């Protein structure tokens, strides 16, 4: 009888572990294909053919502290993610010392060179080095090899954001405390920065941009470390500005529902276009348990707003989303 019960429990557990995710549940533990909470913090997502790739900071427990890790996951539906491994396992590349920093990795696919080019924030533990690092790979799932680091257009760069416009042009957003929020165009091979599009004079980090119905929407978070704050947005007809004043994206007392902006994903389908706000709910003392706050935003005519978080499903073919458990 006991053995029978153990077998049944094992089968049930196994089914639970490998069950498909039927929805995206903002702020909840998000199991990957192995039933393990996704480790892709401060991340970025790209789509290649019909597959999405999600790269982010790997912060699982028990990592060798001599290394920094970037994980990679793939998905065809944005709800179920397959762990493809750690595509970066890097030792201190520039003698940065104890507790050096690699944060917010973003990967771009460069068609002419057929290389996957990763940008990340590279820093010393006191955040004074303030540079971007670049690593490249021939395949989306690595391994990525470190190439170099630099200050984009000689500016300090901490949080970085990724934006690829509808015409495929690749941009980097970076935060430069003293001046504001830079939006820069990458060079043809993506290995350097070609020119500045805008310097948005606002002390913001966690920069994210989406191009929606002819308007650019830029989101940023205030500079409050790991603590959430009311994130804000501005719009412009051109990446070169001028940008409107910044306005709240959610009721300010919710501090962006406890999250910090990381990216805006645009899902263009046959029936609709959904823009998803992708935020990190940081847990600095237990980073492995930091959560993801994804919310389909209300957007259009210069307005952007995060409705209250709730579980939702997304259909990447039609572009439609709906609340989970809804019968409509």
Binding-site ranges for ligand DGJ (CB under 6 A): 42, 103-104, 159, 205-206, 225-226, 260
Q: Which residue is nearest to ligand DGJ (CB)?
A: 225
Provide the H-helix boundaries in 177-297: 255-258
Q: Which is nearer to ligand DGJ, 105 or 309 (CB)?
A: 105
Those residues whose C-beta lies under 8 Å from the C-beta of residue 6, and which sit 6 or more positions away, are none
Is 62 exposed, middle or buried, given 0-12, 13-18 or 19+ CB atoms closer than 10 A? exposed
Compare residues 142 and 206 and give the one whose CB is closer to ligand DGJ.
Answer: 206
Nearest distance, CB of residue 124 and ligand DGJ, angstroms: 12
Q: How far is the CB of 248 from ligand DGJ (least distance, A)?
A: 18
CB nearer ligand DGJ, residue 225 or residue 323 = 225
8 A C-beta contact, residue 281 and residue 228 = yes
Taking the complex as a whole, how short is the minimal distance between the CB of residue 299 and ligand DGJ, in angstroms?
A: 23
Maximum Cα interatomic distance, the chain, rounded to a whole number of Å: 73
| Residue 65 DSSP SS3 | coil
What the block records as the tokens of 268 is 């263009």
Tell the smallest beta-carbon distance from residue 101 to ligand DGJ (Å): 7
CB 39 within 8 A of CB 71: yes
**Separation CA 17–CA 14 (nearest Å):** 5
Q: How far is the CB of 225 from ligand DGJ (least distance, A)?
A: 4
Q: What's the CA gap between 82 and 270, in Å, rounded? A: 25
Nearest to ligand DGJ of 86, 205 (CB atom): 205
Kindly tell me which of 85 and 225 has the beta carbon lying closer to ligand DGJ: 225
Nearer to ligand DGJ, 107 or 314 (CB): 107
CA separation for the pair 177, 156 (Å, rounded): 8
Cβ–Cβ < 8 Å for 61, 109: no
CB of 308 to ligand DGJ, least distance (A): 23
Give the nearer residue to ligand DGJ in terms of CB position, either 26 or 42: 42
User: What is the distance between the alpha carbons of residues 239 and 73, in angstroms, rounded to a whole number?
Assistant: 30
Least distance in angstroms from the C-beta of 186 to ligand DGJ:
21
- What is the rounded CA–CA span in Å between residue 114 and residue 106? 16
């Amino acid at each position: 009888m006991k053995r029978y019960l153990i077998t049944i429990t094992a089968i049930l557990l196994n089914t639970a572990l490998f069950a498909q995710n039927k929805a995206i549940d903002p702020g909840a533990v998000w199991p990957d294909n192995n039933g393990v909470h996704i480790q892709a913090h401060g991340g970025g997502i790209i789509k290649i053919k019909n597959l999405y790739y999600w790269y982010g900071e790997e912060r699982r427990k028990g990592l060798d502290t001599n290394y920094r890790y970037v994980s990679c996951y793939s998905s065809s539906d944005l709800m179920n993610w397959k762990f493809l491994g750690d595509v970066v396992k890097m030792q201190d590349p520039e003698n940065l010392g104890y507790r050096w920093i690699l944060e917010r990795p973003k990967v771009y696919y460069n068609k002419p060179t057929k290389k996957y080019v990763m940008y990340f924030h590279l820093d010393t533990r006191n955040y004074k080095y303030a540079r971007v690092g670049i690593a490249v790979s021939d395949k989306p799932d690595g391994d990525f090899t470190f190439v170099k680091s630099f200050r984009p257009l000689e500016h300090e760069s901490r949080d970085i954001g990724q934006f690829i416009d509808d015409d495929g042009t690749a941009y980097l957003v970076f935060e430069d405390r003293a001046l504001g929020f830079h939006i820069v165009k990458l060079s043809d091979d993506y290995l350097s920065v070609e020119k500045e599009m805008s310097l948005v004079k606002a002390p913001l980090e966690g920069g994210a941009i989406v191009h929606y119905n002819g308007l650019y929407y830029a989101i940023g978070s205030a500079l409050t470390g790991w603590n959430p704050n009311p994130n804000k947005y501005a719009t412009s007809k051109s990446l070169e500005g001028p940008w409107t004043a910044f306005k709240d994206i959610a009721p300010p007392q919710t501090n962006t529902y406890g999250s910090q902006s990381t990216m805006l994903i645009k899902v263009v389908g046959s029936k609709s276009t959904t823009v998803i706000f992708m935020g990190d709910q940081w847990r600095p003392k237990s980073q492995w348990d930091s959560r993801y706050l994804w919310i389909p935003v209300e957007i259009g005519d210069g307005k952007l707003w995060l409705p209250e978080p709730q579980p939702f499903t997304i259909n990447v073919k039609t572009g439609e989303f709906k609340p989970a458990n809804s019968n409509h």
